[in-house]
Amino acid sequence: MRALPIRRLFAALGPAAIAATVASASYPIGTPSQAWRAAEKAAWRASRVVQRSYKDEVLQKLNRLPEKPFVLQQYGQLSDDPTRYPLFSVRTRDWSPDKPSVLITGGVHGYEKSGVQGAILFLMEHAERYSKYFNILVVPCVSPWGYETIERWNAQAIDPNRSFNPNGEVVPGRSFNPEPGTEESLALISHLGSLGVEQWMCHVDLHETTNTDETEFRPAKAARDGSEYVPGVIPDGFYLVANLENAQPAWHAAIIKAVREVTHIAPADAGGKIIDEPVIQEGVIGIPPPALIGLCAGVTNAPYATTTEVYPDSPRATDEQCNRAQVVAISAALDYIMQVGGKEEL
């Protein structure tokens, strides 16, 4: 499988060099200052390349999970190729209205591999023992087309992680703004509604921040929207994304403390920010309520909700460390909730 040329070009560059180099180049699709129409979106879609296998790397692993503790359920499919891209969730079999309910999502941005593999690893190694206290629903790969093509967007050039509130207000100049609804988000919302959970306890949405955010995805977004590309800086390390209106500082601190044992935590930049958002405590940035801006982290009413961000391109982190960081983040999130609830350790 071949990588896209722009990724090969920037594979060896650090964050500062990436920003400086990309700033001098224009995206190869579209006309500067003109938003894409159908022709440009079709050209972008035609230029995407399958680089890994959803069937081999995700579906086969899910099918090997033991049946006794888990229920594997198809909750939809993508119209781009329904046979190739079925959508699956896994939930603990001993589901009970007397237990708090937890949602784990990965692959909302399909290219972010450790979110997908970390979710599966959690299922394989830890979910069964936590099911003593929690109902657990894991959706390992919300965007399988993006997983295979290593893309942030779906096949319609829409960001799934901005599509969970398609009627939300768009604020010019804001880093996060809603985008149109997608098959990926609508299928997940429908699936969650079918479970009859009135109050979720926790949602951990697993993500990565990668060098390709600067080399490909942010330039592509600027081209798609007909806006100017403004270079950013990729943070070196793990961080979390919190709701400024429900920051849960002690919970986030517990997750950061646990993850630090596996991989390094991203420092704030000189302005006290990470990805242009304020750092509200070590390793945690604060953003507007995710539900308002279409993020998956706002898809439930859980009081404990966060987005993880692993940095897989760091020379200080291996793929295994990135996967483990996601697992540790989930476990620490649940351990804290158990502690607050006065439950014994598992």
How big is the chain by its Cα radius of gyration, in Å? 19
Contacts of 61 (CB under 8 A, 6+ apart): 120, 124
The answer to whether position 345 is within a domain reads no
The pLDDT, as a whole number, for residue 342 is 83
Task: Tell which residue, 83, 205, 202, has the closest CA to residue 139.
Answer: 205
The answer to whether position 224 is within a domain reads yes
Q: How far is CA 46 from CA 41, 112, 122, 149, 237, in A?
A: 9, 21, 35, 11, 33
The answer to whether position 202 is within a domain reads yes
Structure tokens at 29: 């699709």
CB atoms within 10 A of CB 50: 14
The pLDDT, as a whole number, for residue 25 is 58
Structure tokens at 211: 């060098």
Task: Evaluate the CA torsion angle 109, 112, 114, 120 in order and state its sign.
Answer: positive
Q: How far is CA 159 from the centre of its chain?
A: 11
Q: How many residues are present in the chain?
A: 346
Main-chain phi, psi angles of 207, to 5 degrees: -140, 175
The answer to whether position 71 is within a domain reads yes
Structure tokens at 107: 């692959």
What is the chain's percent helix, strand, coil content, to nearest 5?
A: 35, 15, 50
Cα–Cα–Cα angle for 297, 298, 302, nearest 5°?
90
H-helix segments, 89-133: 113-125, 127-130
What does 279-321 look like in DSSP terms, one character per residue?
A: EEETTEEEES-TTTTT-GGGSS--SEEEEEEE-TT-TT--HHH
The answer to whether position 300 is within a domain reads yes
Alpha carbons 285 and 211: distance in angstroms, whole number: 19
Q: Is the pTM of this model over 0.85?
A: yes
The answer to whether position 90 is within a domain reads yes
- How would you write the pLDDT of the chain (346 residues) with one tens digit per residue? 333 433 333 444 454 444 444 444 589 999 999 999 999 999 999 999 999 999 999 999 999 999 999 999 999 999 999 999 999 999 999 999 999 999 999 999 999 999 999 999 999 999 999 999 999 999 999 999 999 999 999 999 999 999 999 999 999 888 899 999 999 999 999 999 999 999 999 999 999 999 999 999 999 999 999 999 999 999 999 999 999 999 999 999 999 999 999 999 999 999 999 999 999 999 999 999 999 999 999 999 999 999 999 999 999 999 999 999 999 999 999 999 999 988 766 5
User: If residue 161 lies in a helix (H) or strand (E), which one and from where to where?
Assistant: none
The answer to whether position 346 is within a domain reads no
Amino acid making up residue 175: S
The CATH code of the domain that includes 325 is 3.40.630.10
Cα–Cα–Cα angle for 164, 244, 277, nearest 5°?
85
Range of the domain at 290: 5-340
Three-class SS of residue 274?
strand
The answer to whether position 83 is within a domain reads yes
The pLDDT, as a whole number, for residue 345 is 63
Domain count, the chain: 1
What does 208-236 look like in DSSP terms, one character per residue?
A: E--THIIIIIHHHHHHHHT---------S
Alpha carbons 18 and 283: distance in angstroms, whole number: 23
Contacts of 193 (CB under 8 A, 6+ apart): none
